[in-house]
Chain A
Amino acid sequence: MHYRENAEMLQKSKLVLGDGTSLDDLIMRESNEVSLRVMTDEELYHLEMDKIFAKTWLLLGHESEIPEPGDFIVRDMAEDNVIVARSQDGEVNVSLNVCPHRGMRVCLGEAGNKRIHQCIYHGWAFRPNGDFIGAPVEREKMHGNDVDKKTLGLKKAKVHLYGGLIFATWNVDGPSFDEYLGDIKYYMDQLFCRTDNGLELLGPPQRFTLPCNWKVPGEQSGSDGFHTLTLHRSLMEGGVMGGTAESIYDQAPGMYGVDVSCKQGHSLRCLEAEKTFKMFADVPFEGKSTRERLELLTPPGITKEMIPELFRNLSEDQVNQLATIPPQVGGMFPNILIAFIFAPRTDGGSSGALALHTYVPKGPGKVEFVNYIFAEKDAPEQMKRDMLQNSVQQTGTSGTIEQDDADVWPVIMKNARGAVSKGITLKYQALHGHERPEGWVGEGLLYPGFTKDDTQWNWWLAYYDLMDAV
């Protein structure tokens, strides 16, 4: 059963655009369709900035980027530029990179270490936690005659660290991070909270821009598994995934598994390695215990030496899942893609690739693709080196998988501009419906079998919920 199957229960949205189009005309919950117009509409984009990007939790980086007090990076929460800095007390702070004096950017570099961030325009100065220190020529009170300095700090966002990942939100009184994650946390923990020392970002992220709306890659991050067979056909042709070039649709490697999702719009595709990748097809997993399975094939990014860490940090059920049907790809609403994949190499290795992307809106027709590449901190140097190469060769700027995505998205965007084309709907009507597989332990909305549209539709429902909220 789909979690909102009963159409009679649906209340009409009060959100109506200037031309009378309502949210229900764009996101058609009764027929599971989305109007292509959502990709180009300027008014909708500005509403999204207020209702989604100024409200929900957003990923800004990893704390391994700013190990020392004073270390900072500059990132974007949609079109709001922020300073992410570690203060003297060791805390991670996120503050708006906009000087409250005249609106200039306070910090112009992308990364570095500073105890004081001083605006180059008139010299107002701030601490790494955003607190106002003062304006030059203190005796003249250039910060204001009767203004309390405490009110002049940079605007601060609420911060949450999850497995070292830095999340922030402007919605200070809004849902906690755990409420935001919901039932998917059980599965996400298997990726982000599984080792003693956690993940390490291998370098500052790759950044590049695409001429398309953020929702074009966004809806795909809702675990679109199906596109892999056709768009990423070269994975099968190159012998990475199972099957041969002739049998791609018959064998459909990587299509069968368990897709997990939740009403917050996050999702993950859990896949058995032996049914996905050619090189693991003959691994004798039959009748093996969790520990034996882990010894035969460690999850992406994990070494045999790190297996005891999994048992220390996760529940037995979580380790069992990681050993049998680990989460591989998915996303967090609104704009995060997760790829923690086995990534078999041409030289026979398979140390894995761990990458996260954010799709940062830069206007209705532009998105910045930010690609974060990770390894486990405890992994040996050579493995980190291999994993960096795997990720660079398969994801992001030049990645042979994602080059093809980057080629499709701008074309969809071009189409969405046509007077007739914009009335075309995106169809999410190949639905499985929630079904709990036998013996499955985790919670959430579960879709076993062939990957279908359910998780992506849940992504749109999460979108609807935030846009509809007053």
Chain B
Amino acid sequence: MTWKTKSTAAPDSTTILRGLVSNKRVALGSQVYNRILETLYDEAAALDERRIDDWIAMIAEDIIYQAPIRLTRTGPNRDRDVMRTMFHFDEDYGSLLMRTGRLQKSAWAEDPPSRCRRFITNVRIAECETPGEYEVVSYLYLERSRGDSPENENTTAERRDVWREVDGGYKLARREIIVDQSVLGMSNFAVFL
């Protein structure tokens, strides 16, 4: 599963939101489904508990980690609202290491850190063409508490992942985060989604 990045701002480069591509579904409750679900929960816990090294250990070195922007469209183009030419995140392994390395030093945006809860639901899984790789679509609901503010910031997104079986576990090889807001209500994405 790959997606091409076009360099243009013209709105005809928008694409539709789609969930699973493969039709080789991994049944809910099957062993693979359960183990991948467990991995998603472990990943959320690693991020919520700010065990960043544990999170990085779950990432494949060829990762593509992107969050395209979302547009408001109307009429015949109403469903073409995912703009894969511009991103809130546009990362590879090196840049994720740069970001996580920064968190150990003077990253004031996360010092003091946010208190986050990542709720992962609606998990659907299918087999990719490459054996041992799985498309995993999930919903993310993020609640983020900052400083002494009694009002949490929050956001919702669909995550379209590829998880790869490595040494009896799973590593994240692709993540596309499709946010629901065209204008983010969160003041930054200093946390991973």
A residues sitting closer than 8 Å to B (CB atoms) are: 62, 64-68, 71, 73, 108-114, 200-211, 231, 233-234, 237-238, 245, 346-347, 368, 373, 375, 381, 384-385, 388-389, 392-393, 396-398, 400, 402-404, 406-408, 410-411
Instruction: Let me know if B75 and A208 touch, CB within 8 A.
Output: no
Q: Is B7 an interface residue (CB 8 A)?
A: yes
Instruction: Let me know if A204 and B87 touch, CB within 8 A.
Output: no
In whole angstroms, how far apart are the Cα atoms of A454 and B117 in the complex? 44
Instruction: Let me know if B188 and A398 touch, CB within 8 A.
Output: yes
Q: Taking A238-B102, A393-B91 as contacts, is the C-beta distance between A407 and B9 under 8 angstroms?
A: no
Instruction: Let me know if B183 and A237 touch, CB within 8 A.
Output: no
Q: Is B30 an interface residue (CB 8 A)?
A: no
Q: Is B107 an interface residue (CB 8 A)?
A: yes
Instruction: Let me know if A111 and B11 touch, CB within 8 A.
Output: yes
Which of A111, A210, A238 has most chain B Cβ within 10 Å?
Answer: A111
Q: Is B77 an interface residue (CB 8 A)?
A: yes
Instruction: Let me know if A400 and B98 touch, CB within 8 A.
Output: yes
Q: Is B25 an interface residue (CB 8 A)?
A: no
Q: Taking A67-B10, A375-B7, A393-B98 as contacts, is the C-beta distance between A204 and B105 under 8 angstroms?
A: no
Q: Taking A110-B71, A110-B182, A200-B7 as contacts, is the C-beta distance between A238 and B88 under 8 angstroms?
A: no
Least distance between A384 CB and chain B CB atoms (Å): 4
In whole angstroms, how far apart are the Cα atoms of A113 and B89 in the complex? 28
- Interface of chain B residues 1 through 52 with chain A (CB within 8 A): 5, 7-13
In whole angstroms, how far apart are the Cα atoms of A384 and B88 in the complex? 16
Which of A65, A205, A404 has most chain B Cβ within 10 Å?
Answer: A404
Contacts of B73 in A (CB 8 A): 109-112
In whole angstroms, how far apart are the Cα atoms of A203 and B85 in the complex? 5
Instruction: Let me know if B86 and A397 touch, CB within 8 A.
Output: no
Contact of B184 among A203, A209, A392 (CB under 8 A): A209
Q: Taking A208-B187, A388-B90, A403-B109 as contacts, is the C-beta distance between A112 and B75 under 8 angstroms?
A: yes
Which of A71, A204, A385, A402 has most chain B Cβ within 10 Å?
Answer: A204
Instruction: Let me know if A71 and B10 touch, CB within 8 A.
Output: yes
Least distance between B117 CB and chain A CB atoms (Å): 19
In whole angstroms, how far apart are the Cα atoms of A320 and B61 in the complex? 42
Least distance between B72 CB and chain A CB atoms (Å): 4
Instruction: Let me know if B109 and A407 touch, CB within 8 A.
Output: yes
Contact of B90 among A108, A393, A407 (CB under 8 A): A393
Instruction: Please classify how large the interface on chain B is, using the bins under 10, 10 to 19, 20 to 34, 35 or more.
Output: 35 or more
Contacts of A205 in B (CB 8 A): 86
Which of B73, B74, B91 has most chain A Cβ within 10 Å?
Answer: B74
Q: Taking A109-B74, A233-B106, A403-B107 as contacts, is the C-beta distance between A209 and B11 under 8 angstroms?
A: no
Q: Is B83 an interface residue (CB 8 A)?
A: yes
Least distance between A11 CB and chain B CB atoms (Å): 40
B residues sitting closer than 8 Å to A (CB atoms) are: 5, 7-13, 67, 69, 71-75, 77, 83, 85-92, 94-95, 97-99, 101-102, 105-110, 147, 182-190
Instruction: Let me know if B88 and A404 touch, CB within 8 A.
Output: no
Closest to A74 in B: B72
Mind listing 7 A-B residue pairs with CB under 8 Å? A203-B9, A203-B83, A203-B85, A392-B90, A393-B91, A400-B99, A400-B107
Closest to A73 in B: B11
Contact of A206 among B7, B69, B101, B147 (CB under 8 A): B69
Contacts of A381 in B (CB 8 A): 7
In whole angstroms, how far apart are the Cα atoms of A434 and B87 in the complex? 41
Contact of A208 among B7, B102, B106, B184 (CB under 8 A): B184
Instruction: Let me know if B7 and A397 touch, CB within 8 A.
Output: no
In whole angstroms, how far apart are the Cα atoms of A372 and B50 in the complex? 31
Least distance between B16 CB and chain A CB atoms (Å): 15
Contacts of A402 in B (CB 8 A): 188
Given contacts A64-B8, A392-B87, A393-B95, 14 further A-B contacts (CB under 8 A): A108-B72, A109-B77, A200-B9, A203-B86, A204-B11, A204-B86, A205-B86, A207-B69, A208-B188, A397-B184, A398-B189, A400-B99, A400-B102, A410-B187
Contacts of B7 in A (CB 8 A): 200, 202-203, 375, 381, 384-385, 388
Contacts of A245 in B (CB 8 A): 105
Least distance between A142 CB and chain B CB atoms (Å): 23
Contact of B94 among A65, A231, A347, A392 (CB under 8 A): A347
Contacts of B97 in A (CB 8 A): 346
Instruction: Let me know if B183 and A368 touch, CB within 8 A.
Output: yes
Instruction: Let me know if A109 and B75 touch, CB within 8 A.
Output: yes
Instruction: Let me know if B184 and A207 touch, CB within 8 A.
Output: yes
Instruction: Let me know if A210 and B10 touch, CB within 8 A.
Output: no
Instruction: Let me know if B86 and A404 touch, CB within 8 A.
Output: no
Contacts of B86 in A (CB 8 A): 202-206, 373, 388
Instruction: Let me know if A108 and B188 touch, CB within 8 A.
Output: no
